[in-house]
Amino acid sequence: MNKISTKKELLEYSESIVNTVREPLIVLDQHLRVVTASRSFYEFFRANHKDTVGKLIYNLGNNQWNIPKLRELLETILPQKTSFDDYKVEHNFKTIGWRTMLLNARQIKRTQSKDRIILLSIEDITERNAIQEGLVKANKELEVLTNDLESAARVKSEFLANMSHELRTPLNSINGFSEVLYDETFGTLNDKQKQYVKNVLVSGKHLLLLINEILDMAKIEAGKMTLTISHLPIRQVLYEITGLTADTANQKQLDMCLEIADDLPPIEADSLKVKQILYNLLSNAVKFTPDEGQIGVKTRHTDTEIEITIWDTGIGIAAENMEKIFEGFFRIETPYSRLTEGTGLGLPIAKSLVKLHGGEFVIESEGVNKGTSVRITLPIKQKQMVKNNENQNSCS
């Protein structure tokens, strides 16, 4: 009586364990007939107890389980090994459709007999497998797209660089001959002729400026822009650049306010590139400030860097355009801006050149018609002690 009770308790205990497992689990005897199956097995595969227990596994569900890879596992692999993990099986079940499963098998010998039982757990990885395959496919497509974009960007940069070089050669000749004619080297011109030649020369110089900007942008995007570092007296450079824009500012009756520190230290930088940055920013301030407005330059410095701010009371920048202004060829559309010329490359180039020097570039505006402030920092680089002097020129 005790033995029967103990056997019954063990059976109930083992069945409780089987039913506790979340994954479908099936127990087979040595003849591959079903001894018991978990509740999750019945629910997942839409089977019932009557048509499962005692049946040959291959005959389950009207022979749906007669799967060649399952036969290989149970009849070829397991007799040689007592266990096997993550055996992948794919099959189209009539009741639940196409499934990808991982089978984990354990072969156990009973202690009181030479019989053996097989524990077979079934993990459905259909969705996970689909996601993984989708990710692999997406990664491959992304890699192809990235390569295509890089190739397109490289071709574009090379095309712009080559075209810029090709265009500059004849354009330099046009400008050169126009200057000769305008200077009346080979004979005098009447007023109308001289005006026409002047128009050709002005247009040619403007076109050359645009081509140079496109070439610079192409070099930057291609990573071919290099710096020629020299000892640069930045204070002198600032006065030089403000002098270049003074005539245009005076024509518009702009009040130019200069607050350039007397003890501004020299820096190690590319002279031409720094002048290009400053001229670009200051000419923008002049260009986008209406008549009788104000523009200005102010500086400050520490032991390691100088800070230059160029500001104006011009048309300003709307919040939604603050990021767009650094996109190549983007121009803010306002009635005033339509009267000005340019490619929209000036700010992106200036920012890239500042970054190339290891500096920072910040642009701020409170909105349309509220002016703009551009602040750049450039490292001094050389090891020298500089006394910070806040004394600046007065500005009305």
Shared-domain flag, residues 145 and 33: no
Three-class SS state of 73: helix
| Predicted pLDDT of residue 333 | 58
Beta strands at 116-124 and 83-93: parallel, antiparallel or unpaired: unpaired
Last residue of a domain, one of 221, 255, 280: 221
pLDDT at position 259 is 95
Domain range enclosing 144? 131-221
Q: Which residue, among 378, 386, 393, 394, has the nearest Cα to 264 in the 3D structure?
A: 386
pLDDT of residue 393: 44
For 306-335, the pLDDT digits (tens) are 999 999 999 988 888 877 777 765 555 555
Which pLDDT tens digit goes with each residue over 27-68?
Answer: 888 889 998 888 888 888 888 888 889 999 999 988 888 898
**Rounded to an integer, what distance in angstroms lies between the CA atom of residue 122 and that of residue 103?**
5
- Residue 229, pLDDT above cutoff 80: yes
Segment 229-252 mean pLDDT: 92
CA 314 to chain centroid, in Å, comes to 32
Q: Could you tell me the pLDDT band of residue 281, with boundaries at 50, 70 and 90? A: very high
pLDDT one-digit tens code per residue, 135-190: 888 888 888 888 888 887 777 777 766 776 777 788 888 888 888 898 888 889 89
What pLDDT digit, counting tens, does each position of 294-305 carry? 999 999 999 899
pLDDT confidence of residue 141:
87
The CATH number linked to 18 is: 3.30.450.20
Instruction: Answer whether residue 111 shows pLDDT above 70.
Output: no
pLDDT digits (tens, 9 = 90+) for 59-75: 998 888 889 888 888 88
Kindly indicate the confidence band of residue 7, based on its pLDDT and cuts at 50, 70 and 90.
very low
Please say whether the beta carbons of 41 and 25 come within 8 A. Answer: yes
Residue 120 and residue 108 in contact, taking contact as beta carbons nearer than 8 Å = no
Residues 236 and 200 in one domain: no
Regarding whether 272 and 337 lie in a shared domain, the answer is yes
Tokens of 258: 């200069």
Average pLDDT, the chain: 82
Per-residue model confidence (pLDDT) at position 11: 52
Q: Does residue 365 share a domain with residue 243?
A: yes
**What integer pLDDT is reported at residue 227 of this predicted model?**
87
Strand partners, 232: 267
Domain co-membership, 87 together with 168: no
| Residue 73 and residue 179 in one domain | no
Average pLDDT in the 90-107 region?
88
139 lies in the same domain as 251: no
Distance CA 342, CA 338 (A): 10
Answer whether residue 300 is part of any domain. Answer: yes
Residue 370, classed as helix, strand or coil, is coil
Pairwise pLDDT comparison (215 vs 3), residue with the higher score:
215
pLDDT at 199 > cutoff 80? yes
Give pLDDT, residue 1.
44
> Six-digit token pair at 182?
């305008």
